[in-house]
Amino acid sequence: MATSLKASDGWAKAAESGMSAAFGTWKNTGNEPVVITGASGDAGPVQLHVTTKTANGMEMKQTSNFTLAPGGTLKLAPGGNHLMFMKLSKALAAGDEQQLTVTFKDGSSTKLTFPVRAYDGAKEKYSDAGSGDASPSSGASGTSEMPGMTHSSSH
């Protein structure tokens, strides 16, 4: 299924350490569904994250896959679904490039290379709570700097 995935407009948010995210648009150009089951990068572990509306606002959490119907498009965007770098092993510096390997349900994979850029838009700022789960952090409040957005540790 790797040959059916066409990626465009990809980029990663610059970050010194902790967590960051990657975004872009993925299109399934094939006649069968494409099921993305994971991603890995040279800057640390990567998780697939979905953003859903809850009674308490918007919540981000890990998902097991992204499924694109034939001809379907998946938009990965700040405040929406995205790829989450969980524990950066190196800084993502604006102007650099980042490579990810995306894996599919059928066992195939593809490599994507995209730029790292500075992004102040949503003021998202996350840190690892030390348990391996993602949690938002903006000082003492323990909430995301993105209004109405939380980061769920339920998987």
Tell me how long the chain is. 155
pLDDT value for 120:
78
pLDDT value for 52:
87
Domains of the chain listed by start with CATH number: 2-134 (2.60.40.1890)
pLDDT value for 105:
96
Q: What is the pLDDT along the chain (155 residues), one digit of tens a residue?
A: 678 999 999 999 999 999 999 999 999 999 999 999 999 998 989 999 998 888 988 888 999 999 999 999 999 999 899 999 999 999 999 999 999 999 999 999 999 999 999 987 655 444 444 333 333 332 322 333 333 444 444 43
